Structure 1
Amino acid sequence: MALEVLELHHHAVRMPLGKVAAMGAFYGEVLGLDTDQGRWEIPGIAGYFLDMGNDCQIHLLGSDGPSPYSQGPGRDPVENHVALAVRDIAAAEAELRRLGVDHWKLDNVAAPELMQLFLRDPVGNLIELHQIGRCRCKRSDRVFADAKAAEGAAPTPARD
Structure 2
Amino acid sequence: MNARPPLPPFTEETATQKVRAAENAWNNQAPEAVSLAYTGDTQWRNRDVFVSGRAEVVRFLTQKWERELDYRLIKELWAFTDNRIAVRFVYECRNATGQWFRSHGNENWEFDDSGLMRVRRASINDQTIDESERLFRWPAPGPRPADHPGLTDLGL
TM-score normalised by the chain length of structure 1: 0.27
In proportion to residue count, which structure has more helix?
2
TM-score normalised by the chain length of structure 2: 0.27
